[in-house]
Amino acid sequence: MQAVQFSEHGDRDVLEYGEFPDPEAGRDEVVVDVKAAALNHLDIWTRRGLPGVELEMPHIPGSDMAGVVHEVGEGVTRFEPGDRVALIAGVAGEHSEFTRKGDPTLAHDFHIIGEHVRGVHAEYAAVPAANLVPVPEGVDWEVAGSASLVFQTAWRMLVDRGEIRPGESVLVLGASGGVGHAAVQIADHAGAEVFATASTDEKLRYAEECGADHTINYESDDFAAAIRDATGRRGVDMVVDHIGAATYEDSLKSLRKGGRVVTCGATTGPNPDAGLNRIFWNQLSVIGSTMATPGEADEALDLVWDGTFEPRVRDTLPMSEIARAHEMIENREGFGKVVVIPDSEL
């Protein structure tokens, strides 16, 4: 088969699209004929190299995909060849206490397909059957292949960890990215007043289409000052921040007393000043969130499948143009997800 792969960490020039051994289904695995896959920022981090993460080389990236079941292992009963499926990328050991309690993201052995083990940017991918969900007929492959990671991540951030409530005010940073544009839609669906930031007026118009009530161009405006002005110096109830060091201080400044910031990542760096004086004086909460439980993922994706939520696709490229796809993510070009399709499907 043909697969996206790299044999060393580095810049985009380490990426190749070429021959790779066909996968075989283990006892509890399914081989999927991939129809569409999508990129996330973690693909960039994985390619560059993550501290403490050692990969089997060559590595196939990719944590989002959808396709048709091609083969099932002898222990698989949930799926059969021909079924339409999408990937849920988070994996935890089946004997973990947190897995048994329904929250595998807290397991000590939790890992992510595509980040810690070989991923799905290939013509075929072998994945645990437990990490697949059915995709209804009529759902486009580009939608099915780009929704899972960002919508489940944003759903857990806002609904489970952030405990969003109708009538609250929510600031979503980086609303043009995958998690950001999903968070805007989820916050709007929850009945919140939604503030959103992005770097261009065009991206802000897209954010409004996704449900943002107020928008702020962070390239030209101080978003913390803009929030204080817009809320009569009160601040918002919640900030959704997946950007990290570059925005953390202003995220805290944007909160009302007793407010909360929820974070799932740090694309600009993981070690900002803690801001403890502001946290204790204003009694703020800083809440971490990673991926989602299977139940949370199902809740989020059901609302994608029925059209309530819509993953926006900024571009669709053949997998052989994977370096260009990475470039779009790194340079923050466009709004929403970048989808890649096996060249054999074009």
State the DSSP string of 173-225.
SSTTSHHHHHHHHHHHHTT-EEEEEESSHHHHHHHHHHT-SEEEETTTS-HHH
pLDDT tens, residue order, the chain (346 aa)? 999 999 999 999 999 999 999 999 999 999 999 999 999 999 999 999 988 889 999 999 999 999 999 999 999 999 999 999 999 998 876 545 555 456 778 777 788 999 999 999 999 999 999 999 999 999 999 999 999 999 999 999 999 999 999 999 999 999 999 999 999 999 999 999 999 999 999 999 999 999 999 999 999 999 999 999 999 999 999 999 999 999 999 999 999 999 999 999 888 888 899 999 999 999 999 999 999 988 899 999 999 999 999 999 999 999 999 999 999 999 989 899 999 999 999 8
CA distance 95 to 78: 20
CA distance 96 to 107: 6
- Cα 314 off chain centre by: 15
Give the residue extent of every domain in the chain: 2-147+292-299+311-345, 163-288
Helices 294-305, 141-155: crossing angle, 10 deg rounding: 130
The amino acid present at 130, given as its one-letter code, is A
26-82 pLDDT, tens digit per residue, is: 999 999 999 999 999 999 999 999 888 899 999 999 999 999 999 999 999 999 999
Query: Which CATH number among 3.40.50.2300, 1.10.20.60, 1.10.443.10, 3.90.180.10 corresponds to the domain 2-147+292-299+311-345?
Result: 3.90.180.10
Q: Of 55, 46, 41, 112, give the one whose Cα is nearest residue 292.
A: 112
- Cα 85 off chain centre by: 18
**pLDDT at residue number 100:** 43
Concatenating the DSSP letter of every residue in 43-100 gives HHHHHH--TT-PPPSSBP--SEEEEEEEEE-TT--S--TT-EEEE--EE--TT-HHHH
Could you tell me the pTM of the whole model?
Answer: 0.94
**pLDDT at residue number 256:** 98
**pLDDT at residue number 152:** 96
**pLDDT at residue number 94:** 59
Proportion of the chain in helix, strand, coil states, percent, rounded to 5? 30, 25, 40
Q: Of 141, 217, 153, give the one whose Cα is nearest residue 186.
A: 153
**Token code pair at residue 206:** 């897209």
Q: Rg of the chain's alpha carbons, rounded to an integer?
A: 20
Which residues, in sequence order, are CB contacts of 126 under 8 Å at separation 6+?
23, 24, 25, 26, 29, 30, 31, 32
Bridge partners (DSSP) listed for residue 5: 16
Cβ proximity of 3 and 121 under 8 Å: yes
Bridge partners (DSSP) listed for residue 159: none
**Token code pair at residue 138:** 């009529």
Phi and psi angles of residue 156, each rounded to the nearest 5 degrees, phi first:
-60, -40
Cβ proximity of 68 and 83 under 8 Å: yes
**pLDDT at residue number 108:** 75
**Token code pair at residue 170:** 């929510």
| Class of domain 163-288 as given by CATH | alpha beta
The amino acid present at 340, given as its one-letter code, is V
Residue that has been written with the tokens 């004929």 in this structure: 33
**pLDDT at residue number 103:** 79
174-207 pLDDT, tens digit per residue, is: 999 999 999 999 999 999 999 999 999 999 999 9
CA distance 346 to 328: 21
